[in-house]
Structure 1
Amino acid sequence: MVVSVVVSVMAGLVVERLGVRLCLTIGTLALCLTWVMIALSTDFSMLLIARVFQGFVASVYMVVITVYPVEVSQVRWRGIMMGVAEAMVMLGAFLTYLGGLILLPTPLAFTFVAILAPQLILFFFLRESPLWLARRDREDDIVDSLMCLRGRGVDIKPELEHIKSTVYTERIHKPTAAEQLLLLRKPLYLKPLILCILILLFKELTGQYAALTYTVKMFRMAGSSLDPYWCAVVMGAVRFLPCFLSWMLIERLPRRLLLSTCMTVAGVSLAVLGIFLWVWSSSSKGLGPHMGWVPIVCLSIFTLAYGIGVGPISWTMVAELLPSQVRNVGAGIINSCFSLFLFLVGLTFPFSVEAVGVGGVFIAYALCSLCGVIFVLTCLPETRGRSFTEIQTNFDSSKEPSNVL
């Protein structure tokens, strides 16, 4: 996570220069190599080196996840595309939990290699973003990419002209990719960047990363009679399954409504969990084994709310709010901040538990979730069904905003 904080901005420049397909191919090869290193490691230094390389690859992957889906999808499919990306993250976490339960570390590492290797073949058929190709004046490749993405029978001329117009406008304001950093000084680009960072800040202040990282420890601290390792697997499944419901809702409901509602449900469930744990820790006799189901129910409700709205909608709005002129470098900065938030939440959780108790920590997360609701309702523009140009108009002081709140 520390590596991701440092290199995420550079990862954005790498993706801008090399393109998605080459970055994913090199990154997957590096991941295969690092998992082999972990499987064969004989000392801590080899493990550390492998994890450092994995941190860099993860930074590149996060930029790709933020940028690629919205650049290749049509407006009506943007939310679902980002939801699929979030679902794959949740599926990976669930399979890792399950694999860690039934496999020893060395076989588990080789299993990851076996899963990653076939992706190298699939990446050969991956199409580059038409917008990225247009920036490099590869017109024939743009046509091939659009025909593959939209289908052979679809008229791609309007979209092709729109992409060319977008790139022409970019070149007027941004001669080179490196000057994206300079553009971020302008309010037109700085405002959405700050909003994107705040979205992810409130997303992580729900405590989901702490719940993910310390699942087993939390069930032990709560005195649950259920097996904590199987509870972790159940929580992994609960994180993944709501993604299917999210796909059905994400293009049917306004983004702000879905995000604020799910944040409210998440906050209430965390508050109930925090009060339960506070009462349990304060009681000299405890609450008895018959109450062991309360933590898993509260965490399941929280996880459902997170999987349906908080997780996928946050990333969807980040991808939609970030202007195309600074998307790759901006995505690097955003993911650097995101990695920092993950690191700080994971780092401070055990110390916070010692200071105020596990119940107090989850009550604090609940309050942060409710603050996030206020932020969503008062500061974010609606993005569902709107083009990037229409969204960016909200931050252009020379034009009248269109329904920002």
Structure 2
Amino acid sequence: MNVMAKAEKKISSAFIYFFGSFGGILFGYDIGVMTGALPFLQADWHLENAASLVGWITSAVMFGAIFGGALAGQLSDKFGRRKMILMSAIVFMVFSVLSGVSPDMGEASAYYLIIVRMLLGLAVGAASALVPAYMSEMAPAKARGRLSGLNQTMIVSGMLLSYVVDFLLKDLPGEWAWRLMLGLAAVPALILFLGVLRLPESPRFLLRKGDEAQARKVLSYIRKNPAEIDQELASIKETAKEERQANQKTSWSTLFSGKYRYLVIAGVGVAAFQQFQGANAIFYYIPLIVQKATGQAASSNLMWPIVQGVILVVGSLVYMWIADKFNRRTLLMVGGAVMGLSFILPAVINWMMPNMNPMTIVVFLCIYVAFYSFTWAPLTWVLVGEIFPLAIRGRASGLASSFNWIGSWLVGLIFPIMTASMPQEAVFAIFGIICILGVIFVKTCVPETRGHTLEEIEEQGTNHGQVKASNPEN
């Protein structure tokens, strides 16, 4: 025990924050890898005219993630954030390898890969729920936006890594190319597992389980001021005491009780809008989008995903610079408005100028990605990590993650079907309208959280919910 304690004291805050957010690499790699693998997989298995099957193969991970997020969020309240992140890494490793060794059995191969990727999605969904919750509980209030934004930097770095791997492997024989692209996802999963082995548990989870001494020790790794540690412990303990006094046992119905409804709707709504706005249509299908616009083969357009990946990484770094300088709501509304216009304007220009350069839509998609990268992309996970009260945080984070993945799954599934039956500009215009609806939602339903402790956000939100419950006409 003493040896373990001495080892724990050597853990730096930089190590904790780095590996605490490293799960985003898994999330990002699997979002991006299918972008490059899909053209080779289509050719190898002769799926060029099977839009529905292509949609299912692409979106199977998101379908599994719907359940992975909800399950991991619930289990993390019982077993802890750290243990569940470790379990997610193991599941990710196993099913990444099984994806890469998919047997060639004709049409049955596609169904095998769909099932394996659904199971892989359990780990991806778990990571998307657990990492924001863990990071928000470790980060101090004044830097929570920036440090929680590390999750987004990891996600987009994972995406860029997968795009680069896809590009480097594109000259291999088609069968080997897509298999290696999918199977190499096991490498970052192994790195995550080894790193998280040394991570401490969240101090809020430890206090909730009654281990104040260990919670204080963990806070001493990441807070320099003893007075700050005492103040944070007292604040968390007060919240936990109120929960015990109420003898509250949370259930799914608890999330939408009058006390919590306001914050749950805000967090879940933002998570859902992020995906229904259509970002993953670009990330999954950009080579096919360029192919449809220009007529060039998708397998020769693998430089475009790298361009998108660079924009995403730069945008995530911009976000970390401005995260705690601007209100969350302001960034979401400005970003959503520009994203909506980036989708709608190509349809308007094409209607006014039928001979529009086909690459115009790709330019506008780059503008969309740029604004998405430092607004909705990182802020969704920052809000999901900080907006939910402690009593329901794991379960509510899982629900938000599930709604996010429902949107991601539906976009991944129906986008190839939609573009096969209608112009690309019209499809993106539909997403643009959803972006504008997202701005309206943020304006009317989401509270400001910048600079507030998690306990202050909880008090603000529950007070709002109680006022609404007592004054239903307001």
State how many pairs are aligned.
392
1:251 aligned to which of 321, 324, 346: 324
The answer to whether structure 1 residue 233 and structure 2 residue 299 are counterparts is: no
The answer to whether structure 1 residue 357 and structure 2 residue 418 are counterparts is: no
1:196 aligned to which of 263, 267, 292: 267
CA distance 1:321–1:118, change in 2 (3 Å): closer
Identity among equivalent positions (%) equals 23
2:188 aligned to which of 99, 104, 115: 115
CA distance 1:352–1:18, change in 2 (3 Å): same
After superposition, give the CA deviation of every residue in 1:147-167 in whole Å (9 maximum; x if it has no partner).
Answer: 112148665212122222121
Cα offset, 1:357, TM superposition: 1.8
2:395 aligned to which of 297, 319, 329: 329
Q: Secondary structure at the match of 2:277?
A: coil
TM-score under structure 1 normalisation? 0.88
Q: Secondary structure at the match of 1:256?
A: helix
2:87 aligned to which of 15, 26, 37: 26
CA distance 1:321–1:173, change in 2 (3 Å): same
Q: Where does the alignment leave 5 or more consecutive residues of structure 2 unmatched?
A: 1-61, 170-176, 470-474
Cα offset, 1:355, TM superposition: 4.4
After superposition, give the CA deviation of every residue in 1:178-207 in whole Å (9 maximum; x if it has no partner).
Answer: x24242241221222122222123222321
Cα offset, 1:24, TM superposition: 1.8
Cα offset, 1:319, TM superposition: 2.5
Q: Secondary structure at the match of 1:169?
A: helix
Range that drifts further, 8-17 or 390-399: 390-399
> 1:390, 1:133 → 2: CA distance?
20
Q: Is contact 1:68-1:129 (8 Å) kept?
A: yes
Runs of 4+ in 1 over 4 A off after TM superposition: 152-155, 224-227, 276-280, 397-401
After superposition, give the CA deviation of every residue in 1:277-330 in whole Å (9 maximum; x if it has no partner).
Answer: 5567xx4xx54xxx3542332111111100011211222223322122111111
> 1:48, 1:364 → 2: CA distance?
28
Q: Secondary structure at the match of 1:187?
A: coil
Letter in 2 for 1:84: L
Q: Is contact 1:394-1:400 (8 Å) kept?
A: no
Residue aligning to 2:445? 379
2:99 aligned to which of 30, 33, 38: 38
1:129 aligned to which of 202, 208, 213: 202
Letter in 1 for 2:410: L
Range that drifts further, 243-252 or 319-328: 319-328
Q: Is contact 1:75-1:387 (8 Å) kept?
A: yes
Letter in 2 for 1:344: L
Cα offset, 1:173, TM superposition: 3.2
Residue aligning to 2:348? 275
Cα offset, 1:354, TM superposition: 4.1
Cα offset, 1:126, TM superposition: 0.8
Letter in 2 for 1:316: V
2:74 aligned to which of 9, 13, 18: 13
The answer to whether structure 1 residue 210 and structure 2 residue 276 are counterparts is: no
Q: Is contact 1:231-1:296 (8 Å) kept?
A: no
Letter in 2 for 1:219: V
After superposition, give the CA deviation of every residue in 1:9-45 in whole Å (9 maximum; x if it has no partner).
Answer: 2221221222122212222122222222233332436
Residue aligning to 2:258? 187
1:222 aligned to which of 279, 293, 303: 293
Range that drifts further, 61-70 or 36-45: 36-45
Letter in 1 for 2:338: V
Range that drifts further, 161-170 or 70-79: 161-170
1:310 aligned to which of 365, 372, 376: 376
Q: Secondary structure at the match of 2:324?
A: coil
> 1:182, 1:270 → 2: CA distance?
37
Residue aligning to 1:67? 133
Q: Is contact 2:271-2:401 (8 Å) kept?
A: no
Letter in 1 for 2:435: S
Across the aligned residues of Structure 1 and Structure 2, the Cα RMSD in angstroms comes to: 2.5
